[in-house]
Amino acid sequence: MNKPRRRSRTSIEFAHTAATHVGRVRQSNQDAYGSIPDLCVLADGMGGHRGGEVAASLAVSTTLERFDGSSLGGLVRAVATANRIILERSLADEDLRGMGTTICAMAAVVGESGFDRLAVANVGDSRVYRHATGELTQVTEDHSLVADLVRAGELTHEEAARHPQRNILTRALGIEEDPIVDAWELLPLLGDRYLLCSDGLFNELNDSEILEILDRNEDSMATVNKLVDRAVDAGGHDNVTVLIADVVEAPKVEKEAWTLPPVRGEQASSAFASGLAGLTSFSWRPIALGVGFMGLVAAIFAGIGLYARSSWHVGEHNGDIAIFKGRPSGVLWFDPTVEEITGISILDLSEPQRNAVVDVLPVGSLEEGRELIERLQNSAN
Ligand code: MN
């Protein structure tokens, strides 16, 4: 297939290298990635059957096609278009209803200042990191329940990394009409290495393990393969995808700080209609912060804007706590089968816990279900 190849409008050039793996647990790979010379995109889909795959691949292909190569706003508009196309497809096809995806992207653009810049955008919890020897900096912020709780001081990074509800997103593409797209302009520096990845990487490897591999400064192919292999070896509970973008051409830079202040919380549909300034910033937060774990559980089911991308959940079966395997036919809608009945009565739980269990608690796996039940029991006593 011949695509018209756009000439980059900037003096920035990337070298892109990527690797992906289905992992050891999942049946299909619902991550997707792609690149053109001035843009790379990575997405992590959710939704039963084909849904996650379709959503992620639409996110990548639409963003690559629609990016007009102009500006940070152009990148945000391409992501917003991808959102609309995924949502339309989801509403038109019963089998795909409720599908969604994360997205993260990095492009070369002409910045607000008129100088060439890197543009980064994200929705969900796929990440963009910048690597310099001895240093790994997460550029993006995760739009997930646990990330919100970390920002609120409710959880530590370590607790968040192991939390059974870490797979709950607060934003995703394909779910609502106007998701907020976070976007940043960064200064391009020759030799910079950026890492885009799905949560299958950082849920298996912590930042220092990732850094240790990056610090070997091997060629990008060896590095992406090593990162993916390590994540699979460490458990491979999820699909894992890693994309490296090396900045191989960059303008001689003006003296300026490395990052510009992040431009956050732009409403995708109206973003940049009036330029970058003066737009209201929106950010959704769980309503029950500050009341500990059961507050967290309650927040999940206050739940507008929380997207479960797991097909397991803890719920109630004939009065007992049970773990179900479900086919998510839509966000938080399941067609479940009982996988494990615990013999623990829901009457042994406190009332808010009981309500939460009756409403079902999404988890990423059978193991996480067991872990969550243990936590429920411990906090009940
Ligand atoms: Mn994932």
**Alpha carbon of 239 to ligand 1 centroid (Å):** 6
- Assign 172 to helix, strand or coil: coil
Distance from the alpha carbon of residue 181 to the mean position of ligand 1, in angstroms: 19
Instruction: Tell me the CA–centroid distance for residue 52 and ligand 1, in Å.
Output: 10
Ligand 1 center to 310 CA (angstroms)? 9
Q: Which residues contact 152 (CB under 8 A, 6 or more apart)?
A: 285, 289, 290
Q: Extract the tokens encoding 132.
A: 């310099």
Ligand 1 centre to CA of 198 (Å) is: 6
Strands 193-197 and 127-132: antiparallel
Question: Strand, coil or helix: what is 355?
Answer: helix
Q: Do 204 and 23 touch, CB atoms closer than 8 A?
A: no
**For the chain, how long is the longest CA-to-CA vector?**
68
Instruction: Tell me how far the alpha carbon of residue 344 lies from the centroid of ligand 1, in angstroms.
Output: 31
CA of 31 from ligand 1 middle (Å) equals 7
pLDDT tens per residue, the chain (381 residues)? 444 445 567 999 999 999 999 999 888 999 999 999 999 999 999 987 789 999 999 999 999 999 998 899 999 999 999 999 999 999 999 999 889 999 999 999 998 888 899 999 999 999 999 998 889 999 999 998 888 888 888 889 888 888 888 888 889 999 989 899 999 999 998 999 999 999 999 999 999 999 999 999 999 999 999 999 999 999 999 999 999 999 999 987 554 444 444 444 443 333 332 222 222 222 322 222 233 443 444 444 444 456 666 667 788 888 888 888 764 444 444 456 788 888 888 888 877 777 777 766 777 778 878 888 888 777 765
Q: Is 247 helix (H, G, I), strand (E, B) or coil?
A: strand
**How close is the Cα of 300 to the center of ligand 1, in Å?**
19
**CB atoms near residue 148 (< 10 Å):** 23
Burial of 75 (0-12, 13-18, 19+ CB in 10 A): buried
Cβ atoms of 195 and 214 closer than 8 Å? yes
Distance separating alpha carbons of residues 169 and 148, to the nearest angstrom: 10
